[in-house]
Chains A and B, each alone.
Chain A
Amino acid sequence: MDDLTHVPADLPAWSKQDGAWRVPYWVFQREDLYAREKRTLFEGPTWNFLCLEAELPAPGDFVAVHVGEKPVIVTRDQDGQLYGFENRCAHRGSLLALEDRGNVKDFTCVYHAWRHNLQGDLVAVAFKDGIGGRGGIAADFCMSQQGPKKMRITTLYGLVFGSFDDEVEDIETYMGAAVVERIRRVMEGRKPVVLGRFTQVLPNNWKLYVENTKDSYHASILHTFFTTFELNRLSQKGGIIVSENGGCHVSYSAIDRQAEAAKAKSIYSEQNIRSQSDLTLADMSLLGSFKEFGDDITLQILSVFPNFVLQQIQNAIAVRTILPRGIDSMHLKWTYIGFESDTAEQRKMRLKQSNLVGPGGYVSMEDGCIGGFVQRGTRESPEERAVLAMGGHAIDSTDDRITEAAIRGFWTEYRQRMGL
């Protein structure tokens, strides 16, 4: 392939000293950089989240999703295995799947009826031998050499990931044991049920949303729902985990039992402390969560480079996919999940708590607009640089959340993979 036409020769300099703690704003603005991201990251040796295995229970099931902006199909074939390939006909490129999901025998293109099996192989060409000895395809045409590009597919605790690059390392190594363990914590041993799917269109570069999900520093500042209504009745402690390469992270907070015990002892001295605000919710059932895990973690946000987020906010569990749409727009796909083992009451609790998240969520609404504020604020200042110095310069895991280490982790892996 002629790669030369794609290589941006004229990206501005990004000094090595900046490391991951000074980020120039042109990284959110340039078409040439975006072209390189698509080739090097989304179609390169990374794992892109595609769907849940539970969305493809039976042979013939498929879902049509995207890797970056590229349309792809994920299927379960008769052999029970999952396959992934471009949603692009071998002939002249029409989309093969025209629905988001369904069950099919094969993919027969609507344009000229070229047929592809569930693994993405071209298996039949309409009028291949012509009619009555006339017409037909060129004698030297070879079906097995044509076809949509295939992906390597892997699953982890019911999550389906795909890669267009065979060189990608196995998923456990890619994320690191600590991140895998936190996925296990949420997903292991139970069957997810999709409760709803929503797509949020954000007016910003995809990396601004990645920064936001990894930004444990902003949570209690930008999102004031919990503090305004004083809903964090229990003392919390938290921390972050950053993967070795930097690009995956977990941020969590848990009930601090020690602080709770201390609080109980000093209950008399606290009698006089008046509440800061008199605002209270009229219907507190929103926060009546049920004990779902063996630990005290009430919030866990986990991300996998480059485009996946797994969220547990109390009992509101969702997966999010980050999909770029040009340099200053992106789609955030939310899939809200419950589990087959949920009781009716538990299911209702999840539905109620889904008010906390999503495009209109009490604690996530602000994330819908903040990326756009940055995009607009920096548009005319491409050479200026953001400061990411909270918690120092390192990208290590810590026991507090007032840090930008996970964002620095992302930029570390980003620079390394992009050769920047």
Chain B
Amino acid sequence: MTKDRPHSELLSLISLAQARYVREIDDGDCAAWPDFFVDDCFYQITTADNYKQHLEAGLMWMDSKNMLRDRILSLSQANIYERHSYRHLLGQPYIREVAGDEVESETSFMVARITREGPTDLFATGRYIDRYRVVGDDPKLVRRIVVLDSNQVDTLLGFPL
């Protein structure tokens, strides 16, 4: 049972999963990004102001793994944007609660954006508010709410965070 496992073990499983997650976005092509989630997951990108005020809309708002797949397909096949990439730096996950198979955790992040003609810019900071389901040694995201600290998004938001 997940809830009986030592925190240190859960912490390292989640850290490892998150390290693979950001590698898939920053150094991969995002194709395997949906695989970090369970099938009926929820993924949202919002801002601290909206989150605090319980405003439900998101910059992305998806309630199935298939929607995540569609996002990546659209980015590679349909949408037009200038070549750019992200670089995520994650803080240590903070485990808030463990119940049954599920772990609620929060992790701070900073994301730099590297654009074709431009320098490396600080694109976003914020935190992940997560619920993982841990089966064996494989944590999968049931819910990830990406809460951006600032209300401002520069130019456009292409790849997931």
A-side residues, CB < 8 A to B, are 100, 194-203, 222, 224-225, 228-229, 279, 281-283, 285-286, 331, 336, 347, 350-352, 354-355, 358-360, 362, 365-366, 368-369, 372-373, 376
Q: Mark B34-71, 1 if CB is under 8 A from A, else 0.
A: 00000000000111011000011111111110110111
Q: When the two chains form their complex, are residues A355 and B155 in contact, meaning their CB atoms are under 8 A apart?
A: no
Contacting A199 at CB < 8 Å: which of B81, B152, B158? Answer: B152
Find the B residue at minimum CB distance from A372.
B155
Contacting A225 at CB < 8 Å: which of B50, B69, B74, B156? Answer: B74
Contacting B79 at CB < 8 Å: which of A197, A347, A365? Answer: A365
Q: When the two chains form their complex, are residues A365 and B60 in contact, meaning their CB atoms are under 8 A apart?
A: no
A312 to B66, CA, bound (A): 25
Q: When the two chains form their complex, are residues A369 and B155 in contact, meaning their CB atoms are under 8 A apart?
A: yes
Find the A residue at minimum CB distance from B155.
A368
A365 to B59, CA, bound (A): 11
Q: How far is the CB of B49 from chain A (nearest CB, A)?
A: 7
* Residues of chain B lying within 8 A (CB to CB) of residue A225: 74, 78-79
Q: When the two chains form their complex, are residues B158 and A282 in contact, meaning their CB atoms are under 8 A apart?
A: no
A195 to B62, CA, bound (A): 15
Q: Is B80 an interface residue (CB 8 A)?
A: yes
Find the A residue at minimum CB distance from B148.
A198
Chain B interface size, as a band, is: 35 or more
Find the B residue at minimum CB distance from A283.
B66
Q: When the two chains form their complex, are residues A222 and B80 in contact, meaning their CB atoms are under 8 A apart?
A: yes
Q: Is B120 an interface residue (CB 8 A)?
A: no
Given the known interface contacts A354-B57, A354-B61, A369-B81, the answer about A279 and B73 at a Cβ–Cβ threshold of 8 Å is yes
Q: When the two chains form their complex, are residues B155 and A203 in contact, meaning their CB atoms are under 8 A apart?
A: yes
Q: Which 8 A-B pairs give the minimum distances between C-beta atoms? A: A196-B57, A368-B156, A360-B157, A283-B66, A282-B66, A228-B78, A195-B57, A359-B153
Q: When the two chains form their complex, are residues A365 and B152 in contact, meaning their CB atoms are under 8 A apart?
A: no
Q: When the two chains form their complex, are residues B55 and A360 in contact, meaning their CB atoms are under 8 A apart?
A: no
A376 to B155, CA, bound (A): 14
In the complex, number of A-B residue pairs with CB atoms less than 8 Å apart: 125
Find the B residue at minimum CB distance from A331.
B152
A5 to B154, CA, bound (A): 34
Q: When the two chains form their complex, are residues A195 and B55 in contact, meaning their CB atoms are under 8 A apart?
A: yes
Q: When the two chains form their complex, are residues B153 and A366 in contact, meaning their CB atoms are under 8 A apart?
A: no
7 other A-B residue contacts (CB within 8 Å) besides A198-B47, A198-B153, A366-B156: A194-B55, A200-B152, A282-B70, A283-B64, A283-B70, A286-B67, A365-B157
Q: How far is the CB of A218 from chain B (nearest CB, A)?
A: 11
Q: When the two chains form their complex, are residues A228 and B156 in contact, meaning their CB atoms are under 8 A apart?
A: no
Q: When the two chains form their complex, are residues B58 and A351 in contact, meaning their CB atoms are under 8 A apart?
A: yes
* Residues of chain B lying within 8 A (CB to CB) of residue A365: 79-81, 156-158
A100 to B48, CA, bound (A): 14
Contacting B153 at CB < 8 Å: which of A100, A199, A229, A286? Answer: A199
A376 to B45, CA, bound (A): 29
Q: When the two chains form their complex, are residues A352 and B63 in contact, meaning their CB atoms are under 8 A apart?
A: yes
Q: Is the interface of A mostly helix, strand, loop or mixed?
A: mixed
Q: When the two chains form their complex, are residues B49 and A197 in contact, meaning their CB atoms are under 8 A apart?
A: yes
Q: Is B77 an interface residue (CB 8 A)?
A: yes
Q: Is B82 an interface residue (CB 8 A)?
A: yes
A100 to B117, CA, bound (A): 35
Query: Of residues B49, B57, B153, B155, which shows the largest number of chain A Cβ atoms within 10 Å of its Cβ?
Result: B57
* Residues of chain A lying within 8 A (CB to CB) of residue B155: 200-203, 359, 368-369, 372
* Residues of chain B lying within 8 A (CB to CB) of residue A368: 81, 155-156
Q: When the two chains form their complex, are residues B80 and A196 in contact, meaning their CB atoms are under 8 A apart?
A: no
* Residues of chain A lying within 8 A (CB to CB) of residue B69: 282-283
A373 to B156, CA, bound (A): 13
Q: Is B151 an interface residue (CB 8 A)?
A: yes
* Residues of chain B lying within 8 A (CB to CB) of residue A279: 73, 77-78
* Residues of chain A lying within 8 A (CB to CB) of residue B81: 365-366, 368-369
Q: How far is the CB of B55 from chain A (nearest CB, A)?
A: 5
Task: Provide a sorted-by-A list of 13 A–B residue pairs whose CB atoms are within 8 angstroms.
Answer: A194-B55, A195-B57, A197-B47, A197-B50, A200-B154, A229-B78, A350-B57, A351-B57, A354-B61, A355-B62, A360-B153, A365-B81, A368-B81
Q: How far is the CB of A349 from chain B (nearest CB, A)?
A: 11
Within 8 A of A (CB), among B110-161: 117, 151-158
A229 to B46, CA, bound (A): 26
* Residues of chain B lying within 8 A (CB to CB) of residue A362: 74, 78-79
Q: How far is the CB of B153 from chain A (nearest CB, A)?
A: 4
Q: When the two chains form their complex, are residues B152 and A201 in contact, meaning their CB atoms are under 8 A apart?
A: yes
Contacting A196 at CB < 8 Å: which of B50, B63, B158? Answer: B50
Query: Of residues A194, A224, A336, A365, which shows the largest number of chain B Cβ atoms within 10 Å of its Cβ?
Result: A365
A199 to B49, CA, bound (A): 11
Given the known interface contacts A198-B151, A351-B58, A360-B60, the answer about A283 and B67 at a Cβ–Cβ threshold of 8 Å is yes
Find the A residue at minimum CB distance from B45.
A360
Q: When the two chains form their complex, are residues A224 and B79 in contact, meaning their CB atoms are under 8 A apart?
A: yes
Q: When the two chains form their complex, are residues A228 and B77 in contact, meaning their CB atoms are under 8 A apart?
A: yes
A106 to B154, CA, bound (A): 35
Contacting A359 at CB < 8 Å: which of B49, B62, B70, B157? Answer: B157
Q: How far is the CB of B58 from chain A (nearest CB, A)?
A: 7
Q: When the two chains form their complex, are residues B73 and A200 in contact, meaning their CB atoms are under 8 A apart?
A: no
* Residues of chain B lying within 8 A (CB to CB) of residue A100: 49
Q: When the two chains form their complex, are residues A201 and B153 in contact, meaning their CB atoms are under 8 A apart?
A: yes
A365 to B84, CA, bound (A): 14
